[in-house]
Structure 1
Amino acid sequence: MFQLSPINCPSTALSVPSSRPRRHSVWRATGRHSRLNTSLLKTRSYGNDYSELQQLELASAGDAGGELPLNGGSPLIGALGSDDDAPEARTSAGPAAAPPIIKVTGELRRKAWALSSVLKVFVSKVDPNYAQPWQMCPQRTSTGSAFVLDTKKRQILTNSHVVSNATAVYVRRPGAARKFKAEVVCDGKVCDLALLTVRDDAFWAAELRGLEFVDVPELQSPIAVAGYPVGGDNISVTKGIVSRIALVRYSATARLLSIQIDAAINPGNSGGPAFADLEGGKVAGVAFSKNVSSSTDNIGYIIPYRVVRHFLEDAESHGTYRGVPSPGFFTQDLENPAQRAYLKMPEGVSGVMVVKTDPLSAAHGAIQKNDVALEVDGVPIADDGTVEFREDERLEFSAIIRAKHVGEQAHIKLLRDGQELCVSYELRAKDHLVPVLDAVDAVPSYLIVGGLVFVPLSSPFLEMVFGGGGGRRSRRADIPVPVLAALNQNKTRKGQQVVLLVQVLAHEINHGYRYSVVPCESFNGTRLHSLRHLAHLVDNCEQPFLNFGLEGGRLITLATADVRAAGPQILSTNAIASDRSPDMALPKPEDEDWDAAAADTVDENPVGGPTGGDSDGDG
């Protein structure tokens, strides 16, 4: 297994002890920071896999010890930044082979003019706190790398996780002493890219040249990675080769094209260029992650030009990054002869079987269960769900969809009941039931009622509470089964959320209730659509009791009058300014149907949406 680091605030890391649950205070002070005592999580023996948090580690800029940034990068891969407060990076448990290093001499600088365009990035950032959403994490500082992309447009390219949640960004040219203030122009968290600019003319007065990209290099092509990893303040260059071309999960949202290299890349390299031709200034990709498993050495990943181009096109056309589209359907390989015969597949025809569609995608209705997807945009799909990429190289067919822009058309050839047909539909970004990226589809919302703290289930929350810090595995076994189940489900209505009771702020009116991290399904018999729906129901309740229906048929009952009388005292005792996040005061969105949710019976579908995980189609 690969190691996993949490996507969290390093200085306020939250962990789940492996000991049996004990009945103590939910919150405890550990060291100089407050931590969540998750021994109260009421977990049983949960062996389910948290599919969005697996395999690789992303060690972010600003996260020491190979930790992941809160809203950038992937749980699959390790980000490459450095933390000024903790410079040692724990990226492997075993000894690694000494990486080839290019000595940066004066002669090399004269030949490799491109090194002058590789910048060091200095960042101060404040991350949101999904475990205590009424406050922010402490400010921290970090460094990363970047490079000049276009001098006329004054564009600088780096990784999103380098500058995520930044309060101040500065860049410095190699060999210079002065730092220049930079601004984030466009942040593409899904593809882990960000555009910066510097307004100061003095920065651009130097001899800077924009670097040019080349397309995906062939296997065994030489690569030189430049940047500012931990261990020194000057520019570093390491060399290696292209090892593999594959789809890698950049974030919890999408698997995108990536280039695997064996050049040494380390915390601080994030956002730096990987040169296909150093002297010519030709860039093959942007360094952004590494595999930090103790059983592997020098496995790094760079973002290829095709992904960079997709990001830049969106930024140019819309002024923002809209993400990548989802196929909108999930598939199963068709390598079994009996199954092929059942689906009436002719000899010599290949494809994959559709097992379900995303209810909120445009594919829903156009594509049906048990259809066989034969081609995507005219490219044949093999029985294992792959398409030809280059000679002797194949990729999952979803790579073709992911290369398109949101709003473009997908053209799928299907086999339905033995007959071929073609369908076209508009591509959309996936609308996850469980939001996956801070500031993209997740926000730190909360509602406090009589000391009961409710939040919407999100990946940032789980990664903060259950993620293992410092290169340890996440404690997936501690995540409650109903919460795990929600990760593999789809929204059935716009705005739908899984509402969690995450802790109880002790007060005499809630005495005897010690639940935490458990889905709340209903309020006074009405099924919940979202956290905002719950706030609306509580605010307009005229009944003498507030009944919160939890997963498994459990019930919390509070007296309405007691809740309203004790509310200010509970907030004051816990130094909380408001009983809810600002977004709870917003009016109900017109496209959300709360009445339809309320009409559902309380006993069925506890967390909403169909069951089943992402398959080859990747949703």
Structure 2
Amino acid sequence: MRDTKRKRGRKPKNPTPSQPLQSAVEITTTASRPRGRPKKLPKLPDNPDPLPPPPILSPCRHVSNGTAIGLGGGSGGGELAGDPIAARVVPGMDAVVKVFCIHTEPNFSLPWQRKRQYSSSTTARVKVQKRWANTKYLATVLCIGTECDIAMLTVNDDEFWEVVSPVEFGELPALQDAVTVVGYPIGGDTISVTSGVVSGVEILSYVHRSAELLGLQIDAAINSGNSGGPAFNDKGNCVGIAFQSLKHEDAENIGYVIPTPVIQHFIQDYEKNEAYTAMDMKPEQKGVRIFRVDPTAPESMVLKSSDIVLSFDGVDIANDGTIPFRHGECIGFSYLVSQKYAVKVLQGFALNGKPVTNLRRLAEMVENCDDEFLKLDLEYEQTVVLRTKTAKAATPDILATRCIPSAMSADLKALRPWT
């Protein structure tokens, strides 16, 4: 063996091999070859068919789930080829504007300037603003429908009408149809969208004038500021206008929408008469409409449903149902009704062919009747025939059985003998 000279120092833990160790990992720049036999590639034809062109989509907006959604004009968004789910149409929100009702008061301490502007429900200046623009345009009120709670505005500036597509009206929706309400409610400055379904279709009481008109009940959120905003169906057509909601501790998500039949009636009335004529009344005429008359009431012979009461006892009734009271005050016209006394009027009632005008006349005719029969002609062509002697003889027993103290009231007894 060959003697090796050992160096001074600490003995190494691992003896140095005679040949250098090779690294366990070898890094190369070429890709490693997979194991096994290589796969055969499919043979392409000499003249392959050209690929079909990509589908042409209408202007659309992509949401987070990747669905293409069409915008505006009633034309839906494009649908990807082979996608089994149809694209949901987004309403034409570009046609929805924000309305500003501005009111200013005079400054009497500084007559050369006015006080600060603030929002008001009754104002002479109305401005509108498109959702993608910062300019506010002065609007003109063409007509106001107080019964249906709708107002029609127009803008004389031609710049406002650029790049604005009108919405299309749809049919009256059915129950459980999807609706989308668009507007500018309280809590934000940008446009807001809420969705729900139609919960009911019925005659509603419109708060603005207490008119009974057709309305839609929906469960989409309608807050302060949503009034006047359109409600769209799943096809992008406008099916109504949001106008009120029910605020109650036991109610949640109950909103109301003016349906298209009421809206179209309002528009057609303006196109025909250049004004909202409502009940075909003259501009100087005012009054209240009768909604319903009890068919069993005597007033049904005179008053009918949808009649207009212009005055009461010579006092004109305003459109809001008020009358002048004291100086500078108004009060509901029911005050005049409360000053009257109830009088029983028997219309369409006859005894033995003779008309009966009141209870005193009826009591007199029954007591003085000497005919064999009592024939009473009632309403709705009903007739009651009694034997006179038998009916008078049975009166005491009937009073005792029914616990009725007397056959007539004390004031009628005081009128005897009949005059």
- With the length of structure 2 as denominator, give the TM-score of the two structures: 0.50
Structure having greater relative contact order (Cα 8 Å, sep ≥ 6): 1
Question: Could you say which structure has the larger radius of gyration?
Answer: 2
